[in-house]
Amino acid sequence: MQKRNWLRGACALTLALAGLGLVQAQSYPTKPVRLIVPFPAGGATDLFARTLSQKLSEKMGTSLVVENRPGAGGTLGSDLVAKAQPDGYILLLATSSTHSIGPNLNPRMPYDAVKDFTPISQVGNAPSIMLVPNSSPAKTVKEWIDYAKKNPGRLNYASSGNGTIVQLTAELFKAQAELFVVHIPYKGTALAIPDLVSGKVDVLFDSLPTGLPHVRDGRLRALGVTSLKATPLAPGVPPIADVLPGYESNTWFGLFGPKGLPADVVSRVNTAANQVLQDPEVLDKLQRFGIEPVGGTPAQFTTMLAKESAKWKKTITERKITLD
């Protein structure tokens, strides 16, 4: 009899705990959620985070507080999330720099970009635009490639510094087109624009928000975009992939949690993010930022991450790119 009562009690306790867990899962979130941005306020990632946060707050039924934790190229903020409790109350808006490029450039990263995070959703892609001076003899990507092949080592490209997405985009282009073009690093693409306009620099792969205005003003010529397909963010500008099949270089944005984030929490945030990315107000702001909304499942995001990491690792290794 005592054994039977003990079993009944154990079963009741198990059911009670299971029920409690279900209630907790269904009630998430019950307090504000911190969204860590590992870059300074006012930058593209910060603006994106603040655009998402208001609508995500509405969909999730709680406040989403954006916290800027800049430093070491996004490493400090990312590491904070990597070492946080996986309870869903601290999330990260990461980019190519923190999870695809940085880990392949810096072997001393304090976190493992794959093992220390739970991918939730890719939320955006920011393609770049290939810009040349108006004095350039090339009117198309193919013409520029032909021109560069006829002048090996005599042309140059500008970047925003060693190891940046701007340099990697150009090096990927050089690799696929089999070109010899000299690298000239600047401290930001804005500083390279005057030299590009004057013809001292032959080509620059710039972001759409900073590059397109110069094209519209007639100061520079746009030859192609780095997205795999044509983008409404740059109407009339063909993808470079039309000439170099498979060529693609985007700055991606994605939501992560610490490793071990419960599946129900991942699902809740992913669902909310996908809903937000269909909001007309959000879409309008993203267009102004030069960002394409993406969305999708955690599995699709995970697949993309593996592909991006492999691509940039190959480029960094083969082109001997370093941070120095």
pLDDT computed for residue 17 by the predictor: 41
According to DSSP, the β-strands at 203-207 and 220-225 are unpaired
pLDDT digit string (tens) for 196-223? 999 999 999 999 999 999 999 999 999 9
Q: Which domain-ending residue is among 222, 242, 262?
A: 242
Residues 141 and 237 in one domain: yes
**154 and 102 housed in the same domain:** no
Residues 207 and 144 placed together within one structural domain of the fold:
yes
For residue 26, pLDDT over 70 is answered with: no
Structurally, the chain folds into a number of domains equal to 2
135 and 174 part of one domain:
yes
How confident is the prediction for the chain on average, in pLDDT?
93
φ, ψ of residue 125 to 5 degrees: the values are -130, 135
Percent of the chain topping pLDDT 70: 92
Instruction: Tell me if 132 is assigned to some domain.
Output: yes
DSSP letters, 3-66, are HHHHHHHHHHHHHHHHHHHHHHHHH--SS-EEEEESS-TTSHHHHHHHHHHHHHHHHHTS-EEE
pTM for the predicted model, two decimal places: 0.89
Residue 12 is predicted with a pLDDT of 45
- Pair (120, 258) in one structural domain: yes
- pLDDT tens for 296-317 read 999 999 999 999 999 999 999 9
Tell me, what's the pLDDT at 324?
Answer: 81
pLDDT at 9 over 90: no
Q: Is the pLDDT score of 53 beyond 50?
A: yes
Q: Which of 242, 258, 290 is the last residue of a domain?
A: 242
Any domain includes 20: no
Q: How confident is the model at residue 21 (pLDDT cuts 50, 70, 90)?
A: very low
Q: Is 211 found in the same domain as 302?
A: no
Other CB atoms within 10 Å distance of the CB of residue 152:
10
Percentage of the chain lying above the pLDDT 90 cut: 91
| Domain final residue, candidates 242, 266, 289 | 242
